[in-house]
Amino acid sequence: MHLGVSESMRECEYSQISTRSSTPMETPYKKKTSKKRKWEIFPGRNKFYCGGRIMMAKQTGVFYLTLVLILVTCGLFFTFDCPFLALQLTPVIPVIGGVLFLFVLGTLLRTSFSDPGVLPRATPDEAADLERQIDVANGSTGYRPPPRTKEVVINGQTVKLKYCFTCKIFRPPRASHCSLCDNCVDRFDHHCPWVGNCVGKRNYRFFYMFILSLSFLTIFIFAFVITHIILRSHRNGFLNALKDSPASVLEVVVCFFSVWSIVGLSGFHTYLISSNQTTNEDIKGSWSSKRGKDNYNPYSHGNIFTNCCAALCGPLPPSLIDRRGFVQSDTPQLAPPTNGITMYGATQSQQSHMVSDTETESVTKTSAFRAPNSFCRLPPHPSSSSRAASQ
């Protein structure tokens, strides 16, 4: 009996000791909070769905119009035209139409839902370091801001790298800042409202395959709908054929007014791919001979076949923003000391400089997306280390 009481008292003592700290030092870290993913604090104007797996522009109304036009036109064709054509001509027609439809839909969704090649923004520390490098490289005296450009040589051609004041980076060659999405996009081609996304390095091939296959699908539907009307008119007359299949009339109208723009756009991008240019470069005339006799495209491989293979068959670069990754806090949040005892030997002056919760959160929003070590930063200047040592 006495042993049982002593054991229970000992357990109570153990439980009290386990819930209270026996040393003046307490755990320096606060309680863990639910981690946020990087897409939740993404600084650009984008929409994310399915836990960050789908990335689109903020304005997506025209994309849904594109989707509805494709679905409705193809739905009418498969419902009202394909049964007649399969019986009168060949059942291969609906099979070919179905393959084209699935390919168009797949490339459209792949273009719209993917990262076009967004470049990460610089963190506050990286931006401050870049500012110091710019001052040192240009010998700024403080009376006027230093120039925000840098020149690199690519295949014998001088290319200027421009500084982005929003992303705080030097943009790589062929990159540009999209004003609608508020992101710097690598190998920026254009912002396409019809697909609801920017078109850049990571989704350009899918965009090209989308408009090219949509051209074939539009011509295919237009041709066989007219064939359907002609075959019916041979039996019952032209007016009766239109009355018997009013859906075919709607398909002809939609295809007639859309085929010219779609085929023209496909031809334009075929020209761009064959010369290894972007829409942005072609509109600005970056490699036009009007700018000088020595001005040429340094990215062209010299022949059409190699340029097409480089644009359509090259390796797909990975996404640089890691939108589904977890946010890592750069600075550990220390809890305030208790009983007037300094934690881990930290002085009061060091504790006064601890980052608050709001400051840490604001820093985390920009530090979650780090820029790659490419042309986004100037190389370290040799005099910067000596200046830091003297200070």
Tens-place pLDDT, residues 104-140:
999 999 999 999 999 999 888 888 888 888 777 666 5
Q: pLDDT tens digits, residue range 24-73?
A: 444 555 555 678 888 988 999 999 999 899 999 999 999 999 999 999 99
Structure tokens at 49: 């769905």
Residue 356: CB atoms within 10 Å: 9
CB-based burial label for 28 (10 Å; 0-12, 13-18, 19+): middle
Q: Which residues contact 288 (CB under 8 A, 6 or more apart)?
A: 295
Structure tokens at 63: 């994309």
Residue listed under structure tokens 């008119």: 233
Structure tokens at 29: 């870290």
- Measure the CA–CA gap between 120 and 127, rounded to whole angstroms: 12
Strand partners for 154 = 157
pLDDT score at 127? 86
Closest CA to 354 of 38, 124, 25, 363: 363
- Measure the CA–CA gap between 92 and 96, rounded to whole angstroms: 6
Q: Residue 79 pLDDT > 90, yes or no?
A: yes
pLDDT score at 240? 83
pLDDT score at 157? 86
Q: pLDDT tens digits, residue range 185-197?
A: 999 999 999 999 9
Q: Provide DSSP, 248-260.
A: HHHHHHHHHHHHH
Catalytic sites, residue numbers: 192
Percentage of the chain beyond pLDDT 70 is 72
Average pLDDT over residues 250-262: 94
pTM, entire model: 0.74
Residue type for 8, please? S
- The upper half-sphere exposure of residue 334, i.e. CA atoms within 13 Å in the direction of its Cβ, equals 16
Residue listed under structure tokens 């709001």: 358
Return the C-alpha torsion angle 224, 215, 76, 89, nearest 10: 20
- Measure the CA–CA gap between 199 and 189, rounded to whole angstroms: 6
Cα 116–198–71 angle (5° rounding)? 100
Stronger pLDDT, 225 or 332, i.e. the higher one: 225
Percentage of the chain beyond pLDDT 90 is 50
Q: Which residues contact 336 (CB under 8 A, 6 or more apart)?
A: 351
361 confidence band (pLDDT: 50, 70, 90): very low
Return the C-alpha torsion angle 335, 339, 341, 343, nearest 10: -20
Residue listed under structure tokens 């490699």: 287
pLDDT score at 150? 84
Calculate the CA 245 to chain-centre distance: 44
Residue listed under structure tokens 């491989």: 301
Q: Residue 161 pLDDT > 80, yes or no?
A: yes
Residue listed under structure tokens 């070919």: 96
Closest CA to 170 of 125, 116, 134: 134
- Is there a contact between 209 and 107 (Cβ–Cβ < 8 Å)? yes
pLDDT score at 237? 82
Residue listed under structure tokens 């190389």: 379
Helices (H), 276-356: 279-284, 304-312, 348-351
Least confident of 109-123, 267-281, 369-383: 369-383
CB-based burial label for 223 (10 Å; 0-12, 13-18, 19+): exposed
pLDDT score at 78? 95
Q: How far apart are the first and last CA of the chain?
A: 74
- Is there a contact between 211 and 259 (Cβ–Cβ < 8 Å)? no
Residue listed under structure tokens 């991008």: 269
Helix H or strand E encompassing 47: strand 46-49
- Is there a contact between 203 and 197 (Cβ–Cβ < 8 Å)? yes
- Measure the CA–CA gap between 21 and 229, rounded to whole angstroms: 87
Positive or negative CA dihedral for 85, 91, 95, 100?
Answer: negative
Cα 130–325–131 angle (5° rounding)? 5
